Amino acid sequence: MPLLKSWIDSANTAVCPFPLNNLPYGVFSTDSTPPRCGVAIGDMILDLSLLEEQRLIEVNYEEVFEVPFWNEFIELGPRAWADLRARLTDLLIEGGDDALAANSELCARALVAQKDATMHLPIVVAEYTDFYAGRNHAFNVGSMFRGPENALPPNWLHIPIGYNGRASTVVVSGTDIHRPLGQLKPAGAEAPVFGPSRRLDIELEMGAIVGTGNKMGQPVTVAEADAMIFGYVILNDWSARDIQAWEYQPLGPFQAKAFATSISPWIVTAAALGPFRTPTPPREVELLPYLQEPAPMLYDIDLEVRLRPAGGTRATLLSHTNYNEMYYSAAQQLAHHASSGCEMNTGDLLGSGTISGPTKDTRGSLLELSWGGKEPLTLDSGEIRTFLEDGDTAILSGHAQGDGYRVGFGDCTGTILPAVTPPDWTK
């Protein structure tokens, strides 16, 4: 599909992340307006609450865009999703319905410069589940701790492994993250101590947002799961590796992951990503029938990790990889999640698991990039890192590359602040 030209000129450049082909959804505010639903187009945000008020867009004759989250619209289902996308395209495309383009007064009110807006969490996150579904990442981490011959657990090639995380600490890009506290067991020590994590890490992931759910007790097929997914965000599953190393047996991550998860501000819809579908990799072990994909359900999305130290003006590129490195698609993850009869709801967020490629410069975590801290990284500033220091800003970004256009997500960023230590925490 070629670039769709808009009458908003900034949307028509080859490197713009928000062309008419994209139309991602977010929640924004300005100095004069409270948080509300909007769509990114070029370097602007189109205020959907105002268009709804002016009756330029109508969805099932319900008012769903004046609220500071997309859940009410999302739960209307695929027909409403398609209708809104078609209507917005008609209003914004060159030569389309000029009800907005020809009204200069309305344009001045409805189009807000992104640089003048504050972005907010685009959905109320109902539940959060994180998976461990990237083969390269799982092999790297397993090799560090168990050796390459035992890197993958016996179930890994048969099942998308996951755990239930915390929806309460999912935050939008730009939110500062306090270094977490927890129990740590230093090497050679007989007992743990309590204090700030010293091995704080990022995990480069994609997040899938569930649009329509299933009823408790009713599994779904992979094809049905694919149709249930509304859209995708870039996700950083911040990880305290030293806390995790002590707590994870036998039940897996807990406090090491619960303190924060960051997502990019714009939801890129499954419809916008349709032209970039790609199959999952060849199977080393045949999957059980309920997990087999009837069609390509992964996406070709280029991803990068950058790190900017405190006071720095330049961020160092640490890694570049692609979402197509995943072993299990989001549809397979969702189908497996519901296979027990687990009820999935509008606004559920599924983390893909860390996305790493086969080479060092394509690894999606500092744990892998520094190989457990044994191979320090040198930033462009000359500073050395194995894990995150206070003041560091992690910047995760990505886009799908089309014919003369890009479909982007906006950066997923977060800056590490010192731990908040209660006065009596050492007692």
Q: List the catalytic residues.
A: 137
- Amino acid 341 reads G
Closest of 379, 296, 367, 417 to residue 139, by C-alpha? 367
User: 141-168 in b/e burial notation, b at 16+ Cβ within 10 A?
Assistant: bbbeeeeeeebbeeebeebbbbbebbbe
Rounded Cα distance, 206 and 399, in Å: 11
CA distances (Å), 234 to each of 85, 250, 382, 397, in order?
Answer: 21, 29, 28, 7
Kindly tell me the burial class for residue 131, based on how many C-beta atoms sit within 10 Å of its own C-beta (0-12, 13-18, 19 or more).
buried
- Amino acid 365 reads S
Quickly list DSSP for 148-197. Answer: GGG-S-TTTTTS--EEE--GGGEEETT--EEPPEEEE--TT-SS-EEEE-
Q: Which residues pair with 218 in a beta bridge?
A: none
Task: Give the 3-state secondary structure of residue 50.
Answer: helix
Output the six-digit token pair for 323.
């979402």
Rounded Cα distance, 12 and 316, in Å: 29
Rounded Cα distance, 214 and 73, in Å: 17
Q: Which residues pair with 416 in a beta bridge?
A: 177
Task: Give the 3-state secondary structure of residue 240.
Answer: strand
Maximum pairwise Cα distance, the chain: 74
Residue pair 96/31 in contact by the 8 Å Cβ criterion: no
Residue pair 196/162 in contact by the 8 Å Cβ criterion: no
Rounded Cα distance, 139 and 359, in Å: 12
Instruction: Please state the length of the chain.
Output: 427
